[in-house]
């Protein structure tokens, strides 16, 4: 409630009415919040107001900030874990409900596509995964990545004012450098209840010294692009809300998402060299189909439908 009222004061009576808690319980809650880093100003007549929030991810705080209906309906935050995708996969296998979002301040075995390592420096980015229970089959798995990349690019454009673009299949880039990555993993479950784990990594407040040298010039962050630090909890809540809206559209009006993707992407209309497993396909990136697969036209006119791969060269 203090979040939503910001920067207004909220009177003790309002807080009591909203939370159904006693004056004493509220006083102790406020103390707890101050102990974990929230700066709360108390005025004898006006009540309380939130002045500053800590740059730490906390499940209750994120729950209070989000507005969506499905994504983030349950939130867990780990100080450190191997990979948030693994945590969510376990929850999925155990029958967990769609929408669970798991964040970690750092990952010891964060991974990207094709088994690549994903650098996840502590407290510098948003490393999180969401449990999805799609109404479509594995053929539509690409839709998840497409919708998520649109959500991430839109939020980064809005918050950071950066020219975030999407490089097929899963990169969000600025000035050709990677700012965020998406890893969608499909699990067949017991056959009748497949689920998907949507993993997202956003380099928010990372500095070049947070990455190995091999990533110099390849990766960027919101801090590097805008010259200022960004509030990760607020960005996290915005991402959950944007994903919530787009996930609903993924089931009902995916065409609209493809249209937005097309506006933001840097891949279509180019001659590409794609690495798909051990194969290399050269062709013109023509369109994205209704399942999020890339349609690449070869020189001989044959159109290849590529579900996932690496763009080696974009001409
Ligand atoms: C890529 O660009 O190849 C995808 C990167 C995905 C990284 C995120 S961080 C949260 C989640 N947990 C992981 O281990 N990976 C994803």
Does residue 205 have its Cβ closer than 6 Å to ligand 1? no
State both tokens at 103. Answer: 């964040």
Does residue 81 have its Cβ closer than 6 Å to ligand 1? no
pLDDT at position 172 is 98
Q: Judge contact between 274 and 281, C-beta under 8 A.
A: yes
Does residue 78 have its Cβ closer than 6 Å to ligand 1? no
Does residue 250 have its Cβ closer than 6 Å to ligand 1? no
Q: Residue 149: name the closest of 294, 274, 277, 273 by CA.
A: 294
Ligand 1 atom 11 nearest Cα: 199
Atom of ligand 1 nearest to the CA of 112: 3
Chain CA centroid to CA 6, Å = 25
pLDDT at position 252 is 85
According to DSSP, residue 54 is labeled: -
What span, in angstroms and rounded, lies between the C-alpha atoms of 198 and 292? Answer: 15
pLDDT at position 195 is 95
State both tokens at 68. Answer: 């969506």
Best probe residue, ligand 1, of 111, 145, 204 (max atoms within 8 Å of C-beta): 111
Does residue 245 have its Cβ closer than 6 Å to ligand 1? no
What span, in angstroms and rounded, lies between the C-alpha atoms of 165 and 181? Answer: 12
What span, in angstroms and rounded, lies between the C-alpha atoms of 256 and 260? Answer: 6
What is the C-alpha R_g of the chain?
A: 21
Q: How far is the CA of 200 from the centre of ligand 1 (A)?
A: 5
Residue with tokens 């189909």: 289
What span, in angstroms and rounded, lies between the C-alpha atoms of 236 and 98? Answer: 18
Chain CA centroid to CA 175, Å = 20
Backbone angles phi, psi at 162, to 5 degrees: -95, 160
Per-residue pLDDT of the chain (315 residues; tens, 9 = 90+): 888 888 899 999 999 998 888 989 999 989 988 988 889 999 999 999 999 888 899 999 999 999 999 999 999 999 999 999 999 999 999 999 999 999 999 999 999 998 899 999 999 999 999 999 999 988 889 999 999 999 999 999 999 999 999 999 899 999 999 999 999 999 988 766 899 999 999 999 999 999 999 998 899 999 999 999 999 999 999 999 999 999 999 988 999 999 999 999 999 999 999 888 888 889 999 999 999 999 999 989 999 999 877 777 665
Alpha helices in 116-253 (DSSP H): 141-160, 222-226, 232-252
Q: Judge contact between 101 and 75, C-beta under 8 A.
A: yes
Ligand 1 atom 16 nearest Cα: 199
What span, in angstroms and rounded, lies between the C-alpha atoms of 227 and 76? Answer: 30
Atom of ligand 1 nearest to the CA of 178: 2
pLDDT at position 315 is 59
Q: How far is the CA of 118 from the centre of ligand 1 (A)?
A: 6
Beta carbons within 8 Å of 123's beta carbon, 6+ residues apart: 55, 56, 105, 106, 205, 232
State both tokens at 261. Answer: 């993707």
Q: How far is the CA of 182 from the centre of ligand 1 (A)?
A: 6
């Amino acid at each position: 409630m203090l979040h939503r009222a910001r920067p207004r004061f909220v009177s003790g009576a309002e807080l009591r009415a909203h939370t159904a808690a006693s004056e004493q319980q509220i006083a102790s809650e406020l103390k707890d919040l101050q102990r974990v880093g929230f700066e709360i100003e108390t005025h004898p007549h006006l009540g309380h107001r939130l002045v500053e929030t800590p740059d730490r991810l906390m499940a209750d705080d994120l729950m209070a900030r989000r507005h969506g209906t499905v994504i983030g309906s349950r939130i867990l935050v780990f100080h450190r874990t191997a990979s948030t995708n693994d945590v969510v996969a376990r929850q999925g296998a155990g029958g967990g409900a769609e929408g669970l979002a798991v964040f970690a301040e750092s990952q010891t075995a964060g991974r990207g596509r094709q088994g690549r390592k994903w650098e996840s420096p502590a407290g510098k980015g948003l490393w999180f995964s969401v449990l999805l229970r799609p109404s479509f089959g594995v053929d539509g798995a690409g839709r998840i990545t497409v919708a998520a990349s649109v959500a991430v690019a839109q939020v980064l454009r809005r918050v950071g004012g950066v020219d975030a673009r999407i490089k097929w299949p899963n990169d969000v880039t600025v000035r050709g450098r990677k700012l965020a990555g998406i890893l969608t993993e499909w699990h067949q479950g017991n056959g009748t209840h497949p689920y998907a784990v949507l993993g997202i990594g956003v380099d928010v407040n990372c500095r070049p010294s947070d990455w190995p040298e091999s990533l110099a010039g390849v990766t960027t962050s919101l801090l590097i692009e805008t010259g200022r630090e960004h509030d990760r909890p607020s960005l996290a809540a915005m991402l959950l809300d944007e994903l919530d809206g787009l996930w609903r559209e993924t089931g009902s009006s995916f065409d609209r998402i493809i249209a937005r993707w097309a506006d933001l992407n840097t891949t279509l209309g180019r001659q590409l060299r794609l690495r798909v497993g051990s194969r290399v396909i050269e062709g013109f990136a023509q369109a994205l189909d209704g399942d999020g697969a890339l349609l690449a036209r070869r020189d001989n006119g044959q159109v290849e439908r590529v579900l996932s791969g690496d763009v080696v060269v974009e001409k």
